[in-house]
Amino acid sequence: MSKTVLVTGASAGIGAATVRRLLAAGHTVYAGARRVDRMKPLETAGARLLALDVTDDASMVAAIDEIVRDAGRLDGLVNNAGYGSYGALEDVPIAEGRRQVEVNLIGLARLIQLATPIMRRQGSGRIINITSIGGKMWEPLGAWYHATKFAVEGLSDCLRMELAPFGIDVVVVEPGGIRTEWSGIARENLLKTSGATAYRDQAERHARLLAGTETSRMVSEADVVATTILKGLTVARPKTRYATGGGANTILTLRRILTDRQFDGFMRMIIRRLST
């Protein structure tokens, strides 16, 4: 059965790949992002474009209202919009920390608030929250980013229990290393924030690691995640979590096995090896 789905952060990377994958499977897809011009190829492929800024409440309300007017229902919400704000906690301005939380967590929660009444009236729906393996593990200089991803994991667990009586499933997708523009944006933020502070050596080392992910054979293409999202939206009984792509399952297995201190050491080793 064809589903009506909203995908946020659809202008590039995982979001754009997800829109294409869902269209190919015969679903009606609303692609939302701030940069509408970058989504024109998706419109050509059959997507319906929405100007959507997850830090602007009026924008989110208008997007959901338009979907209801056009389609009369909403079967799936893919919360993919987000970015990585990197830098030492000491260096990151609090205003930037708030913006990271606003984009990665608050905007996601607000869209869920707007979508839930529609799904509840239907008696069905799927909410797919894109977190990261970064919602289960950590690295230096990524405190604000990882804090938001840990938060989305917890939010999703609570929400899953709240919405189950109404026939609404909540699914978490945890990508590993994925070849998108995300790493370039994170690297730029990192060097801008901590590249000339007491954390310079760590920042330069970590920036080299992020640069390496753009060409590494260990990194997966965005369509790997898109395929997982499609599965989470359409299987009869989805898993609560899907780790996918770029060594995700390996990293999360190590996280379960190792103590916190051992995992700290493992991360230091990985950063040292991949940043040389």
| C-alpha closest to that of 12 among 74, 80, 62, 103 | 80
Q: Find out whether 71 and 64 touch, Cβ atoms under 8 Å.
A: no
Helix (H, G, I), strand (E, B), or coil: what is residue 128? strand
Q: Which residues pair with 173 in a beta bridge?
A: 130, 242
Active site (annotated) includes residue 86: no
Residue with tokens 């991803």: 149
Number of Cα atoms under 13 Å in the Cβ half of residue 165: 2
Choosing from 30, 83, 86, 145, the catalytic residue is: 145
- Rounded distance between C-alpha atoms, residue 32 and residue 183, angstroms: 21
- Rounded distance between C-alpha atoms, residue 115 and residue 66, angstroms: 12
Catalytic residues: 145
